[in-house]
Structure 1
């Protein structure tokens, strides 16, 4: 059975754990890369949600590699420290899911 995991900063990881989610902490790009690689190697992760700030700090080759994998599915979750533009976040998720750029209007 595959599981849902979150890779995020220390403070957010505590909240996810309180909600019953397996959360792994990473304080920077190198630590995030190590955590993500170990989770991929284990093979029991179905969906991996990664803090958007950590995901964008990874080198492009590694990030492209994990985002193109069939399993686990890697999605980004908004960071607490970066301002969230809800519309662009939803548009990015839709573009990734269906392969087309969907523009949302008011």
Structure 2
């Protein structure tokens, strides 16, 4: 059975615990990097990470972009959405189906 984890600022991620996801609150990118690599090692299928932390971890996240697992998905944090998450989803969908179906192919 695959697991789903969430990494981010405490106020942003605690709600995910209510729906059964494994929550890993942290506010420092160094700590988040360690958690990310541990979750990947533990074969998590999906790892959500708040955009604020993801912005400081691009190289670490990119290590997994061509791997089947985990799928690493940026989500808005308590500061709101920056658009990074939607760009990531768009790129993932485009890579999977060969076209940008989210926006009709226009960017």
TM-score range, shorter chain: 0.7 to 0.9
Deviating 4+ runs (over 2 angstroms): 66-69, 82-85, 88-92, 99-104
TM-score by length of 1: 0.77
User: Any unmatched runs of 5+ in structure 1?
Assistant: none
TM-score by length of 2: 0.76
Structure 2: distance between partners of 1:41 and 1:83: 28
Structure 2: distance between partners of 1:98 and 1:41: 26
Structure 1: distance between partners of 2:59 and 2:91: 20
- Residue 36 of structure 2: SS of its match in structure 1? helix
More helix as a share of residues? 1
User: Any unmatched runs of 5+ in structure 2?
Assistant: none
CA RMSD, aligned part only? 2.2
Partner of 1:9: 9
Alignment partner of 2:78 out of 72, 77, 80: 80
Count residues in correspondence: 100
Partner of 2:30: 30
